[in-house]
Amino acid sequence: MLTLLGLVYRMFLKSLIREIKDWSSWLKKFQRDWDGEPASAGRDATPGVMERLNKIDGELKRNGGESLKDKVVETWECAQELDARVTTMELRQNEIHEALNRG
C-alpha cells in the first residue's frame, strides 16, 4: 500500500505541489508589486500600481506649467510661432529677391 501511495505521490502530487508553490510565489510577487513596499533598511519605498497610475494620470492633465501635457502644449505653441516667423521670412525673402531682379 505504501508503495502505491509513493508511486501516486511521485506521478501526480509532487508536480501538482510544485505547480501550486510556483503559482503561490508568483501571486506573492504580483501582490507586492500591486501594493508597493514600504521603505526598509537600505531601500527606498516602492509605490504600488494605483499610486503610479495616479502619478501618470496627473502628468496627462494641465496643472499650470509643470505637467508633461503643459510642456507639450508649450512646445506646440513655440513651434507654431516659429512656423509663422519662417513663413514671414520666406515672404520677405521673395519680395527682396523680386525687387533685386527688377532693379
Encode pLDDT of 5-62 as tens digits: 777 777 778 888 899 999 999 999 999 999 999 999 999 999 999 999 999 888 888 8
What average pLDDT does this structure show over 77-98? 95
pLDDT of residue 65: 81
Residues of 32-65 as b/e, b for ≥16 C-beta within 10 angstroms? Answer: eeeeeeeeeeeeeeeebeeeeeeeeeeeeeeeee
Which residues sit opposite 37 in a β-bridge? 46
Domain ranges of the chain: 1-37+45-59, 65-103
